[in-house]
């Protein structure tokens, strides 16, 4: 079954404590993205990756890092989380051509930073 | 850069009534257009997509959308709404930015279905 798997699904943590949200896809997609969803703002792209070792900033990258060492994995790293990063996060993957395979989303990770 | 506007934050319809959710986009060329649905506590599921050709596209769960270039719109419709359609709906536009096909989402429309 085609899947994008995020872990953890829920996390409550404190300001400044480094955390990593993992994302893995089994569709051999080239593209992967991270979004955050906030009420009234929709989904905003944090970072994206076009292939292994190729990443770039999206619209709201401040405070986040990513890496793409393997095609299937695209972890999101918060080195020093702050309360304004409390949000619902989604990982998505797609083929290089959206006409072939549009974005497929994970179930989301709800982060609360106290 | 592309952008998407969903003017209705919240819509309430009666079960069995018809539904139309509005979406307007901004992009210089013909974009790729999508509608996604998000049920509470779930990720986003693709309802339908438009790339080219027939401007009326059919999706899953009985939804359809019509691309109108002259109005820069891609409204989502359903002839008869079911209670299970209560969810948040996102319109999105995909367009080439450099070598990358970037997808930009609207702010969403929350649909409430009443008996």
Q: Looking at residue B83, which CATH number applies to its domain?
A: 2.60.40.10
CA distance B23 to chain A (A): 13
Q: A100 pLDDT exceeds 90?
A: no
Nearest to A99 among B51, B104, B105 (CB): B51
B51 touches A at CB < 8 Å: yes
Could you give the number of structural domains in chain B? Answer: 1
Model confidence over A4-58: pLDDT tens digits? 999 999 999 999 999 999 999 999 999 999 999 999 899 999 999 999 999 999 9
Is the distance from CB of A4 to CB of A93 less than 8 angstroms?
yes
- CA angle at residue A59 from B77 to B37, to 5 degrees? 25
pLDDT of residue B105: 94
CA–CA distance, A77 with A59 (Å, rounded to integer): 16
Task: Please count the residue pairs, one from chain A and one from chain B, whose beta carbons lie less than 8 angstroms apart.
Answer: 60
Which range marks the domain in which residue B96 is found?
3-114
pLDDT band per the 50, 70, 90 thresholds, residue B108: very high
Mean pLDDT of B44-70: 93
Q: How far is A40 from chain B (nearest CA, A)?
A: 6
- 42-81 in chain A: CB under 8 A from chain B: 42-45, 48, 50, 56
């Amino acid at each position: 079954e085609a899947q994008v798997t995020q872990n953890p699904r829920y996390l409550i943590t404190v300001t400044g404590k480094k955390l990593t949200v993992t994302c893995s896809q089994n569709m051999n997609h080239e593209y992967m993205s991270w979004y955050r969803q906030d009420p009234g703002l929709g989904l905003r792209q944090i970072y994206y990756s076009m292939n292994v070792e190729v990443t770039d900033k999206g619209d709201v990258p401040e405070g986040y890092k990513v890496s793409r060492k393997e095609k299937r994995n695209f972890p999101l790293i918060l080195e020093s989380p702050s309360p304004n990063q409390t949000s619902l996060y989604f990982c998505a993957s797609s083929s290089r051509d959206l006409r072939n395979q549009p974005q497929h989303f994970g179930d989301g990770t709800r982060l609360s930073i106290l | 850069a592309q952008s998407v506007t969903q003017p209705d934050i919240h819509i309430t319809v009666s079960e069995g009534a018809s539904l139309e959710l509005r979406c307007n986009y901004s992009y210089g060329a013909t974009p790729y257009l999508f509608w996604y649905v998000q049920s509470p506590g779930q990720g986003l599921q693709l309802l339908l997509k438009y790339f080219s050709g027939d401007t009326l596209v059919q999706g899953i769960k009985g939804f359809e959308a019509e691309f109108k270039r002259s109005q820069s719109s891609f409204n989502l419709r359903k002839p008869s709404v079911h209670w299970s359609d209560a969810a948040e709906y996102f319109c999105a536009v995909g367009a080439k930015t450099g070598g990358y096909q970037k997808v930009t989402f609207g702010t969403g429309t929350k649909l409430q279905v009443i008996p």
